[in-house]
Amino acid sequence: MRVRYEGGILVQEALKEVILDPARKTPGSIVSHGHMDHLTSGGIMTPQTVAVLKVRRGGTGQSLPYGKEIELNGFRVVLKDAGHVFGSAMVRVDDLLYTGDFNPEGGATCGRAQPEFVRDLIVDATYGRPGYNFPPKHDVESDLLNWLEMELANGPVALGGYEFGKSQELIALVNRLGVEVAVSDKIADLYGPYGVKLQYRRLSELEESERNDPRAYVLPPGWLRPPLDDSVSWLGSIGLKTAYVSGWCAFFDYTGRYGLDAQFPLSDHGDFEDVMTFIEACRPRKVYTEGNSVVVKLSDGEDLVPSLEAAAQKHRIESGSVVWGIGMLQDFEIGFFGPNGYEKTPFAERHELLALHGSIAMRADPKLHLHVTLGRRDHSAIGGHLFRAKTAVVNEIQLARFDTIHFNRRLNEKTGLRELVFD
């Protein structure tokens, strides 16, 4: 059996083949779950994910319940609960198991991933680095609920979490307290028909006189701080205490960076120890890791910015970062942001690419925000915002994908820049 990435995870054996989590609509493919970096139309998926697809992207899919085996292109295929989000599935293809995003601990709105003996294992490695371990889940939940009870004594509180999956887990968690929850979207409506009962109200149902009442607002992360869309601009004026909830909170400080009041490391992924324990329990002969990084190599004369956009699209990096870049650049233009906007300077000659960093927001304009440091022949350095460039000789660049943080850009009228926001 051969496994490689080709617009999705392609599994082949002799004349048989199937594609898992394709990057674009692919009839006969298999879709693991409803997060936007995995969700495409036309494939086989759980009934829950079909429902999510209709709300989030539109389109159609072929429903396949957990545990029902089918024949697909010569393979025996069955979906198993992945414990990641509502409707998420691991995919067994003959004697190969693809975990997709998975969580052996599961959650309040989904089951949990259970290992099984296989010959080949493709495992999610979002947190597949030694040291990427979370504190005990029940401790984090207790800390969050204690903080929530304390802050609700003084007024409403906002919890920020990814709009599908994390937000519904937060609704279920807050429901334990018997505290009213208000949400921004329709996704939670999908859960009830599948036996997952969540209690909440919509923002649009609240009277103006109710907005300051003690309750938990469960919101997309981008709504935790201004600028806000006009339809919900009132959220910025009611004195909300704010907290961000993500597994990455175990490793990064979002309170200081984004002016939030608290953060809690609650994840819908397995951590490093979970991944290693799951692999050991499956006893595979071969393990493939599905990580969140890709290295791009560009050759002399290639346009850097369009090439990176194409690589991000190919590898389904909707939100992420340019981690590092080295090599040489030529025919480039950099800028300094002055009081009257960018002061641009073009350069034709070759410079050593000493550092390249930036953010990736493929649903936004601009898609890439890049800064560079470049070395001259005399070993002096220049740098700034990168507008355009061509590769000289070669470039080697690492891109990273963020699965639980989703970027967009919004115009800040004070700066005149389309600044990064959580969406």
Shared domain check, 381 and 277: no
pLDDT beyond 90 at 37 = no
- What per-residue confidence (pLDDT) applies to 234? 86
Torsion angles phi and psi, residue 300, rounded to 5: -50, 130
Specify whether 246 is located in the same domain as 209: yes
Q: List strand residue ranges (DSSP E) for 339-406, in order.
A: 341-347, 351-361, 368-375, 381-401
Band the pLDDT of 401: cuts 50, 70, 90.
confident
Are residues 182 and 233 located together in one domain of the fold? yes
d(CA 148, CA 157): 7
The whole-number average pLDDT for the span 210-228 is 87
Q: Indicate the DSSP class of residue 135.
A: P
Task: Determine the average pLDDT of the residues in 96-118.
Answer: 96
The pLDDT score that the predictor gives to residue 423 is 62
The alpha carbon dihedral of 146, 149, 153, 155 has a sign of: positive
d(CA 330, CA 239): 50
Does this model's pTM top 0.85? no
CATH of the domain at 279: 3.60.15.10
What pLDDT is attached to residue 231? 73
In this structure, the answer to whether residues 55 and 169 fall within a common structural domain is no
Strands (E), 195-277: 201-202, 216-219, 241-245, 262-264
Q: CA 266 to CA 258: how far, in whole Å?
A: 18
User: Within a domain: residue 408?
Assistant: no
Residues 333 and 366 placed together within one structural domain of the fold: yes
Q: Does 210 score more than 70 pLDDT?
A: yes
Question: pLDDT per residue over 335-360, tens digit each?
Answer: 999 999 999 999 999 999 999 999 99
Which residues touch 309 (CB under 8 Å, ≥6 apart)?
Answer: 362, 367, 368
Q: What is the pLDDT of residue 4?
A: 87
Q: Which two tokens stand for residue 404?
A: 């639980």
Q: Who's near 225: CB < 8 A, 6+ residues apart?
A: 236, 242, 258, 259, 260
| SS (HEC) of 288-327 | EEECCEEEEEEECCCEHHHHHHHHHHHCCCCEEEEEEEEE
d(CA 39, CA 162): 15
Residue 372 reports pLDDT greater than 70: yes
Has residue 421 got a pLDDT over 90? Answer: no
CATH (domain of 369): 3.30.1330.80
* pLDDT recorded at residue 99: 97
Q: Is 298 exposed, middle or buried, given 0-12, 13-18 or 19+ CB atoms closer than 10 A? A: buried
In the predicted model, is pLDDT for residue 404 greater than 70?
no
CATH number at residue 148: 3.40.50.12650
Structure tokens at 255: 């309170």
What's the mean pLDDT when you consider all of the chain?
92
Domain with 85, as residue range(s), is 2-131+270-290
User: Domain check: are 21 and 115 in the same one?
Assistant: yes
Let me know whether 196 and 299 are in one domain.
no
